[in-house]
Amino acid sequence: MTEVNTEERLPPIDIGNLAIKLALEGFILNVLYVKFGYFHSTMREHSHSRGSYELHYIPEGQGILIADGIRYSLMPGTLFMTGPAVLHEQIPAPADPMAEYCIFFEVVSGDSSSCTDKGNGLSSHSLSELLVNTPFWIGQDNENLLPLFKMLSSELSSKPLGFHHMAKNVLEMIVARTVRQYSNLRPSQQHAPEKTMDDSRLLTIENSFLYEYAALTLSELANRLSLSTRQTERIVLKLYGVSFKEKKQQSRMSAAAQLLTTTNLSISGIAARVGFATLEQFSHSFKQFYKITATQFRARNK
Residue 125 lies in a domain: yes
Residue 63 lies in a domain: yes
Where residue 261 falls among pLDDT bands split at 50, 70, 90? confident
* pTM of structure: 0.70
2 or 255, which is more confident: 255
**Residue 113 pLDDT exceeds 80:** no
Q: Are residues 167 and 266 in the same domain?
A: no
**Residue 200 pLDDT exceeds 80:** no
Q: Are residues 13 and 145 in the same domain?
A: yes
* Per-residue model confidence as pLDDT tens digits over 138-156: 999 999 999 999 999 888 8
Stretch 215-238: mean pLDDT? 90
Where residue 273 falls among pLDDT bands split at 50, 70, 90? very high
Q: What is the pLDDT of residue 14?
A: 76
**Residue 68 pLDDT exceeds 80:** yes
Among the candidates 149, 183, 217, a domain finishes at 183
CA distance 74 to 79: 9
Q: Which domain holds residue 83?
A: 6-183
Are the CB atoms for 68 and 189 separated by under 8 Å? yes
Report helix, strand and coil shares of the chain as percent, to nearest 5. Answer: 45, 25, 30
Residue 302's nearest CA partner among 269, 273, 262 is 262
Q: Are residues 79 and 204 in the same domain?
A: no
262 or 293, which is more confident: 293
Q: Are residues 168 and 264 in the same domain?
A: no
CA distance 217 to 209: 10
Q: Are residues 72 and 30 in the same domain?
A: yes
Where residue 269 falls among pLDDT bands split at 50, 70, 90? very high
Q: Are residues 239 and 132 in the same domain?
A: no
* Per-residue model confidence as pLDDT tens digits over 21-30: 999 988 999 9
Q: Are residues 16 and 137 in the same domain?
A: yes
Sheet bearing 63-67, strands edge to edge: 43-46, 88-92, 63-67, 70-74
**Residue 184 pLDDT exceeds 90:** no
**Residue 125 pLDDT exceeds 80:** no
Q: Are residues 17 and 154 in the same domain?
A: yes
Name the phi and psi angles at 89, rounded to 5.
-140, 135
Are the CB atoms for 67 and 82 separated by under 8 Å? yes
Residue 116 lies in a domain: yes
Q: Are residues 177 and 217 in the same domain?
A: no
Q: Are residues 77 and 165 in the same domain?
A: yes
Among the candidates 127, 161, 183, a domain finishes at 183
Looking at residue 217, which CATH number applies to its domain? 1.10.10.60
Looking at residue 143, which CATH number applies to its domain? 2.60.120.280
Q: Total domain count for the chain? A: 2
Residue 189 lies in a domain: no
Bridge partners, 18 (sequence order): 194
Q: Are residues 125 and 207 in the same domain?
A: no
Among the candidates 183, 205, 237, a domain finishes at 183
Q: Are residues 26 and 141 in the same domain?
A: yes
Residue 1 lies in a domain: no
